[in-house]
Amino acid sequence: MTDIKQALFVRNLSLAFAGLKALDDVSFSVPAGSIFGLIGPNGAGKTTLLNCLTRIYTPNSGSLTFGDVELLTRPLHDISSLGIARTFQNLELFGAETALDNVLIGALSRTPIPAVADMLGLPSARRILHAASKRALEALDRLGIAEAADRQVATLSYGVQKRVELARALVTAPRLLLLDEPAAGLNADETRALANVLRELRQAHNMTIILVEHDMSLVMGVCDMLVVLDHGEVIAQDVPSVVRKNPEVIKAYLGEEDGNAA
């Protein structure tokens, strides 16, 4: 593993909520340009880990190194400018806005406009906004939901809303993409389409993707590497074919759930 460049190092990460250990000395590294699965039963600490990465939570101890940046020294609103984008487990959309306007917030995140030009609507500002709009529409189109662009996002189905969130993250052209259960609410066809999108992002854009997901067919199908969390601890870390045979993993997660592991 040492010959492959690592995009992210998680070292000795611990976080407790009121004495309850959500993350307990978690360490792993994520190879650059890989699709990295983060799995485990409900309450294992997967979303908590993503929230540490995006600086919504501050861990009690440990470090998170992305490239040469120590993420824990940066505030939440800096994360996007470092090239990290995410989706949320329980949708965090701007509900009253259209799908396009939602994605536009992503498109504008790393594209500043001088305040005066912005306020007065000078041609330079209009050009930037227009270009951002175009990129936002392309992102929707790439996920097959361009026709929802002008619809108020709160009125769209759950599966479409999930994809609007993904489009909002993708349009920032991140180096690291964090996806929190992107397949929840998608049907089998849509999940297959999602898998293709993820593979394409890895290949064409060399994006590193961390995938938190319960849909085992998706996880086993697209991930290059898996980390399994249980009660805040790493219980396994390997390629999918090895992880799925790990007795501890089967006991903690796959066996207990209901056999949707296959």
Partner 1 sequence: MSGSRIAIYGVAAVVLLALPFAGSHYEHFLLNTALIYTLIALSLVILIGYAGQISIGHAGFWALGAFASAILVTKTGAPFFAGVLFGGVVAAAFGALVAIPALRVQGHYLAIATLGFALIVQQILFEWESLTGGRQGLFVPRPELAGYEFNNDFGYYYVILAIVVPFFLLTVRLPKTRFGRRLIALKLSPLAAASFGVNRARYLTAAFTLSAFLTGISGALYAHLIGHLATETFSLVTSLSFLTMAVIGGILSPIGAVLGGIYLTIAPEFLREFKSAQMVLYGVLLVVFMRFLPHGLASLPQRIASIARRRTSEPAAAPESRRHD
Tell me the pairing of strands 84-86 and 176-180.
parallel
Query: What's the min distance (Å) between Cβ of 173 and partner 1?
Result: 13
Q: Least distance (Å) from partner 1 to the CB of residue 51?
A: 10
108 binds partner 1 (CB under 8 A): yes
CB of 86 to partner 1, least distance (A): 6
230 contacts 253 by C-beta, under 8 angstroms = yes
Binding segment (CB under 8 A) for partner 1, from list 16-24, 38-46, 72-80, 215-223: 72-80
Decide whether 45 or 83 has the Cβ nearer to partner 1. 83
Nearer to partner 1, 110 or 214 (CB): 110
CB 122 within 8 A of CB 115: no
Closest to partner 1 by CB, 101 or 190: 101
Cβ atoms of 13 and 26 within 8 Å: the answer is yes
Stretch binding partner 1 (CB under 8 A), from 32-40, 100-108, 226-234, 254-262: 100-108
CB-based burial label for 168 (10 Å; 0-12, 13-18, 19+): buried
88 is a contact residue toward partner 1 (CB under 8 A): yes
In whole angstroms, the minimum distance from the beta carbon of 214 to partner 1 comes to 22
Binding of partner 1 at residue 24 (CB under 8 A)? Answer: no
The single-letter code of the amino acid at 86 is: R
Binding test (CB under 8 A) with partner 1, winner from 6, 27, 74, 118? 118
Under the binding rule (CB under 8 A), the answer on residue 56 touching partner 1 is yes
Which residues of this protein are in contact with partner 1, per CB under 8 A? 54, 56, 75-81, 85-86, 88, 92-97, 101, 104-106, 108-113, 115, 118-119, 121, 125, 128-129, 152, 155, 168, 172
